[in-house]
């Protein structure tokens, strides 16, 4: 069976940056399960896996525009510490939900603390980076009607309700 829209796919993968450093991997854990065509994984990897079958190995470099986008300086801003009311200790690297420029929710990461100034970054941590995937297709099956309706895979390696 080939990977196509509405197929439940399980993959083993290792993700590295251009320096060869491992960013993420399924090694030592369950394969990643996702619903092809539902936006569960980055679009570039989904495109690279389209038409593949169990046992296929794929090595692909995904450019930022097909991954987490280009890095945008517009998503970096300095806020007053008072904006973090109720948080006793702020630290670089902490993440918070905030309203994004489009009115939706986004995650921001504290990048710098300087007195009462808190610099936050709304870019995804991997924005602007080429991502290198080494993938083995472990399983491909028809997704259930419930999985298609929910937009994700259920069970091991997938979503648990």
What does the chain come to in residues? 161
pLDDT higher than 80, residue 16: yes
Give domain status of residue 2, yes or no: no
Q: What is the CATH number of the domain that holds 115?
A: 2.40.10.330
Q: How do residues 68-111 score in pLDDT, each as one tens digit?
A: 999 999 999 999 999 998 898 999 999 999 877 777 888 999 99
Average pLDDT over residues 4-32: 96
Q: What is the CATH number of the domain that holds 58?
A: 3.10.50.40
User: So what's the pLDDT on residue 49?
Assistant: 98
Q: How do residues 113-161 score in pLDDT, each as one tens digit?
A: 999 999 999 999 999 999 999 999 999 999 999 999 999 998 765 555 4
Are 15 and 53 found together in one domain? yes
Domain that holds residue 80: 73-121
How many C-beta atoms lie closer than 10 Å to residue 153's C-beta? Answer: 25
- The DSSP code for 86 is T
User: So what's the pLDDT on residue 66?
Assistant: 97
Which of these, 140, 115, 111, lies nearest to 127 by C-alpha position?
A: 111
Are 77 and 64 found together in one domain? no
User: So what's the pLDDT on residue 109?
Assistant: 96
Side-chain-side CA neighbours of residue 44 (13 Å): 16
User: So what's the pLDDT on residue 96?
Assistant: 92
User: So what's the pLDDT on residue 159?
Assistant: 53
Q: Which residue has the higher pLDDT, 53 or 104?
A: 53
- Residues in CB range of 145: below 8 A, 6 or more apart: none
pTM: predicted TM-score of the whole model, two decimal places: 0.83
Q: Which residue has the higher pLDDT, 46 or 101?
A: 46
Which of these, 56, 60, 30, 31, lies nearest to 46 by C-alpha position?
A: 60
State the Cα–Cα distance between residues 93 and 140, nearest whole angstrom: 37
Give domain status of residue 33, yes or no: yes
Are 63 and 132 found together in one domain? yes
User: So what's the pLDDT on residue 155?
Assistant: 73
Q: Indicate the number of domains in the chain.
A: 2
């Amino acid at each position: 069976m080939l990977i196509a829209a509405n197929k439940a796919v399980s993959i083993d993968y290792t993700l590295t940056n251009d320096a060869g450093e491992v960013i993420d991997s399924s090694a030592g854990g369950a394969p990643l399960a996702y619903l092809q065509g539902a936006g569960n994984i980055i679009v570039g990897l989904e495109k690279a896996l389209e038409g593949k079958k169990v046992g296929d190995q794929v090595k692909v470099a995904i450019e930022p525009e097909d991954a987490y986008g280009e890095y945008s300086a517009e998503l970096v801003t300095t806020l007053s510490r008072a904006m973090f009311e109720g948080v006793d200790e702020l630290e670089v690297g902490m993440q918070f939900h905030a309203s994004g420029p489009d009115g939706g929710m986004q995650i921001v990461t504290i990048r710098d603390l300087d007195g009462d100034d808190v610099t936050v970054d709304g870019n995804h941590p991997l924005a602007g980076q080429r991502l290198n995937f080494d993938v083995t297709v472990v399983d491909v099956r028809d997704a259930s009607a419930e999985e298609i309706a929910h937009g994700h895979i259920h069970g091991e390696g997938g979503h648990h309700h």
